[in-house]
């Protein structure tokens, strides 16, 4: 099961799955479709008899459902088992006929097959060129319809046509005079035809709203079918990689294939979760249903291409064999991409529509109102422009939040927090960023604070938590080392106990804001004789201790964010050991789980998107502007999917689901790549000024006047520093390794 289902929908889905397992076995299907006269209706009587066709029709019309989710449940199974029968055509035309007041009992019983004759070219939303002419009490149709799927099987057609400049839908009988079919086989094994209409008698059913609703309903249904296929293809491919051997080892042991598998999994997750959002919006009649239908078609088409092509490639020679279902899945995915508008067409359509990337709630409104009312104006201006935020800016804002009771709001009440759920924490982070507030510096409140509450003793909590809450004690994180970045288990900084102190020696690398810090929570090696992970402990180190040297590292954007630390015989009191010796690895994993609510960090990306849209609006209309608008729409769709994934995962974690799966790694990879893509688009919009960058511009006065080159320079900083995010916090390559480890063995 991929999408949420009610008990009744689950029953229908299970029923259909069992039916298809028996009646649409792959070899039997292949035999039927390879015959000289393919049988493309073999399942039709059983689908009708089991009530499957009625599941896509409202109860008042004699069916059993009729919602978008009802149709999706069916289409997911249709995709998994590669059904060629006209299930979707029946659902779409049934909805049109029902809306037009027509009797659809024959459709539900499987006695009447109706084809949707609409496609005429590249844009299914364009005004049809097929003309309707009044003829007495009826109409005559003149025109041509391309790729009418299942036309040779149809008893009647729903045809779109234009009358007096207005589009509408008309009912045409299959045997009508002037109706000519040129039938052919489709890439997925189904049939279709070009339909010529020369004065064909027709009856009007309804207006253009029925056409748009059918296209959008069809786009989401196709997405659900594609997701069903993608999930099946991924499962088969990951299993194959774990069992097929080359050079004496499973294919799953090759890192290149592991990374490609991770990307296939991430693409499937994006497709699944965005389709779920589109289903909800369609059934709720939400204002953004049209935008979400197009966004879903774009994202799922792109995912289908990636997964389909990769699966064939990874299966090698068998992947291109007609004897393996992988090749048949690829063919169906190719057909889906061609139906009801291409990804490029829907991407351009999405660019002109509005979508609610985040969903409004009373709590979100409360956060927004507070931030706008209490964030100091100079800090808000810095955030809006992308200027450097200094330590005193962070402290001022965090003290304001502390006074409100919203700093450390995720902490338990007994430790000074507000006991917020992780859903509330996510909303706060998004709305704060959208309204130009600085990020919450995590090293104290989100990292060592929860660690002390879980592993520290009462004395440590009493000593350090108040300073974290008040932002009077500033922390940094001492994890990475020159040769131990993502591979923390190999760290070498040593801590040797001498009486009441540990003597610490070593080097820490990429220690962000160590030059601001009063304290450091630091991973050290206390035992070299045991397994690497078991020899690691955590110490709390006073940054004013003798023997600590901080050496600035200037990053690619010309700024001093991070540092290299040298620890030379630094004496740390034994009471600063967190937990027990050898528990550092466990603590580090716990800390990581608490970071996951913010790992996608979608708020700053949503703000960046808003800024880029403002930049693009200032570009005069031109072909390059249109191209950039479509490119930005593509990035916005990816960000929309990221926000949906973030919300889905956070909600599951809030319900108690394990945080040890691949979800956090998926969020980290996609969030950093989307950030980088957005900043690249911004530089393209700047044109020749996209090459401007002066590190000093980040420190300009927030209320001054900015030249065009200075504004471009600030965006140049976004681009340059954005390259860091796919490296910091565990490189994206390491994240792909972690995902692959959960998918395949070897």
Residues 360-365 have a mean pLDDT of: 94
Query: Which SS3 state, helix, strand or coil, does residue 581 take?
Result: coil
Angle at 720 between CA 718 and CA 443, to 5 degrees: 70
User: In which band, very low, low, confident or very high, does the pLDDT at 593 lie, cut at 50, 70 and 90?
Assistant: confident
Q: What pLDDT shows up at residue 745?
A: 53
pLDDT per residue as tens digits for the range 463-521: 999 999 999 999 999 999 998 777 778 899 999 999 999 999 999 999 999 999 999 99
Separation between Cα atoms, residue 14 and residue 74, nearest integer Å:
10
Report whether 379 contacts 389 (CB < 8 A).
yes
- Stretch 678-684: mean pLDDT: 97
DSSP state at residue 285: T
What pLDDT band is residue 284 in, cutting at 50, 70 and 90? very high
The pLDDT of residue 400 is above 70: yes
Helices (H), 415-570: 422-434, 442, 449-455, 458-470
To the question of pTM greater than 0.85 for the whole model, the response is: yes
Q: Evaluate whether 320 touches 327 at the Cβ level (below 8 Å).
A: yes
Encode 78-130 in three state secondary structure. Answer: HHHCCCCCCHHHHHHHHHHHHHCCCCCHHHHCCCCCEEEECCCCCCCCCCCCC
Question: 């299930």: which residue's tokens?
Answer: 87
What are the tens digits of pLDDT across the range 375-385? 999 999 999 99
DSSP 341: S
Task: Measure the CA–CA gap between 498 and 501, rounded to whole angstroms.
Answer: 5
* Tokens representing residue 223 in the block: 């997405």
Cβ neighbors of 379 (< 8 A, separation 6 or more) are 389, 393, 396, 397, 436, 437, 438
Q: With 90 as the cut, is the pLDDT of residue 308 above it?
A: yes
The predicted structure's pLDDT at residue 59: 86
Average pLDDT estimate for 121-149? 96
Cα–Cα distance measured from residue 40 to residue 554, given in angstroms and rounded to the nearest whole number: 66
pLDDT, residue 143, reads 97
Asked which of 355-364, 553-562, 661-670 is least confident by mean pLDDT, the reply is 355-364
pLDDT at 746: 43
Q: Name the residue with tokens 């466990």.
A: 586
Give the confidence band of 1 by pLDDT, cuts at 50, 70, 90. low
Per-residue pLDDT, 408: 93
3-state secondary structure of 607: helix
Residue 498: the pLDDT is 96
| Closest listed residue to residue 332, CA positions, set 79, 604, 673, 539 | 79
Supply the mean pLDDT for the chain: 94
362 burial level (CB within 10 Å; 0-12, 13-18, 19+): exposed
Share of the chain above pLDDT 70, in %: 99
Q: Taking a C-beta distance cutoff of 8 angstroms, is the pair 376, 663 a contact? A: no
Pairing type for strands 114-117 and 156-163 reads parallel
Q: Which stretches of 574-624 are assigned E, i.e. beta strand?
A: 577-578
The DSSP symbol for 700 reads S
Residues linked to residue 135 through DSSP beta bridges, in sequence order: 138
pLDDT band at 132 (very low <50, low <70, confident <90, very high): very high
Summarize pLDDT for 158-211 with one digit per residue, the tens: 999 999 999 999 999 999 999 999 999 999 999 999 999 999 999 999 999 999
Is 399's pLDDT higher than 80? yes
The Cα 237–Cα 666 span in angstroms is: 19
**C-alpha closest to that of 351 among 634, 682, 683, 684:** 634
Tokens at residue 298, please?
């774009």
């Amino acid at each position: 099961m991929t999408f949420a289902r009610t008990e009744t929908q689950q029953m229908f889905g299970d029923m259909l799955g069992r039916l298809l397992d028996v009646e649409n076995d792959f070899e039997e299907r292949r035999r039927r479709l390879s015959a000289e006269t393919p049988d493309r209706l073999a399942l039709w009587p059983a689908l009708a008899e089991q009530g499957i066709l009625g599941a896509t029709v409202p109860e008042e019309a004699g069916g059993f459902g009729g919602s978008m989710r009802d149709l999706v449940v069916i289409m997911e199974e249709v995709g998994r088992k590669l059904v060629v029968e006209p299930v979707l055509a029946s659902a779409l035309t049934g909805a049109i006929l029902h809306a037009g007041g027509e009797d659809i009992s024959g459709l539900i019983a499987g006695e009447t097959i109706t084809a949707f004759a609409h496609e005429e070219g590249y844009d299914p939303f364009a005004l049809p060129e097929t003309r309707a002419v009044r003829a007495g009490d009826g109409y005559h149709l003149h025109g041509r319809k391309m790729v009418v799927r299942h036309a040779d099987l149809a008893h009647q057609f729903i045809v779109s046509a234009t009358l007096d400049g207005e589009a509408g839908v008309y009912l045409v009988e299959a045997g009508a005079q002037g109706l000519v079919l040129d039938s052919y086989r489709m890439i997925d094994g189904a049939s279709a035809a070009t339909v010529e209409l020369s004065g064909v008698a027709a009856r009007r059913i309804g207006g253009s709203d029925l056409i748009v609703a059918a296209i959008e309903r069809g786009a989401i249904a196709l997405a659900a079918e594609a997701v069903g296929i993608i999930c099946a293809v991924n499962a088969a491919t990951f299993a194959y990689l774990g069992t097929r051997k080359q050079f004496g080892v499973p294919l799953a042991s090759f890192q290149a294939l592991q990374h490609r598998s991770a990307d296939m999994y991430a693409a499937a997750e994006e497709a699944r979760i965005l389709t779920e959002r589109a289903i909800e919006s369609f059934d709720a009649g939400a204002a953004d249903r049209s935008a979400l239908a197009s966004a879903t078609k774009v994202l799922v088409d792109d995912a289908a291409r990636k997964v389909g092509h990769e699966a064939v490639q990874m299966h090698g020679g068998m992947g291109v064999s007609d004897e393996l279902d992988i090749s048949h899945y690829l063919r169906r995915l190719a057909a889906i991409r061609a139906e009801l508008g291409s990804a490029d067409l829907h991407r351009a359509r999405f660019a002109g529509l509005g979508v609610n990337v985040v969903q409004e709630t009373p709590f979100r409104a409360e956060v927004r109102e507070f931030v706008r009312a209490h964030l100091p104006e100079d800090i808000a201006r810095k955030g809006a422009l992308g200027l450097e935020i200094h330590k005193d800016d962070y402290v001022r804002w965090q003290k304001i939040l502390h006074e409100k009771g919203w700093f450390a709001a995720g902490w338990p009440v007994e430790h000074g927090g507000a006991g917020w759920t992780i859903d509330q924490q996510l909303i706060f982070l998004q709305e704060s960023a959208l309204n130009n507030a600085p990020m919450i510096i995590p090293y104290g409140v989100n990292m060592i604070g929860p660690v002390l509450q879980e592993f520290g003793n009462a004395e440590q909590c009493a000593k350090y938590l108040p300073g974290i809450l008040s932002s009077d004690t500033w922390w940094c994180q001492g994890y990475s080392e020159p040769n131990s970045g993502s591979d923390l288990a190999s760290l070498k900084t040593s801590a040797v106990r001498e009486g009441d102190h540990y003597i610490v020696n070593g080097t820490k690398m990429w220690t962000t804001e160590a030059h601001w810090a009063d304290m450091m929570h630091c991973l050290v090696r206390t035992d070299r004789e045991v397994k690497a992970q078991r020899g690691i402990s955590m110490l709390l180190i006073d940054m004013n201790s003798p023997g600590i040297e901080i050496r600035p590292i200037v990053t690619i954007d010309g700024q001093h964010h991070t540092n290299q630390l040298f620890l030379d015989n630094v004496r740390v009191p034994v009471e600063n050991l967190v937990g027990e010796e050898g528990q550092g690895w466990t603590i580090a994993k716990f800390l990581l789980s608490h970071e996951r609510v913010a790992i996608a960090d979608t708020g700053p990306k949503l703000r960046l998107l808003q800024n880029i849209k403002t930049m693009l609006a200032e570009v005069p209309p031109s072909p390059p502007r249109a191209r950039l608008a479509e490119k930005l729409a593509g990035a916005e769709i990816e960000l929309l999917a990221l926000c949906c994934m973030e919300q889905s995962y956070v909600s599951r974690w809030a319900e108690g689901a394990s945080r040890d799966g691949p979800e956090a790694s998926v969020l980290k990879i996609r969030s950093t790549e989307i950030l980088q893509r957005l900043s690249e688009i911004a530089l393209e919009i700047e044109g020749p000024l996209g090459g401007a960058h002066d590190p000093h511009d980040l420190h300009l006065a927030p209320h001054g006047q900015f030249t065009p080159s200075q504004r471009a320079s600030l965006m140049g900083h976004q681009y340059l520093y954005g390259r860091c995010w796919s490296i910091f916090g565990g490189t994206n390559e390491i994240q792909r390794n972690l995902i692959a480890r959960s998918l395949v063995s070897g």
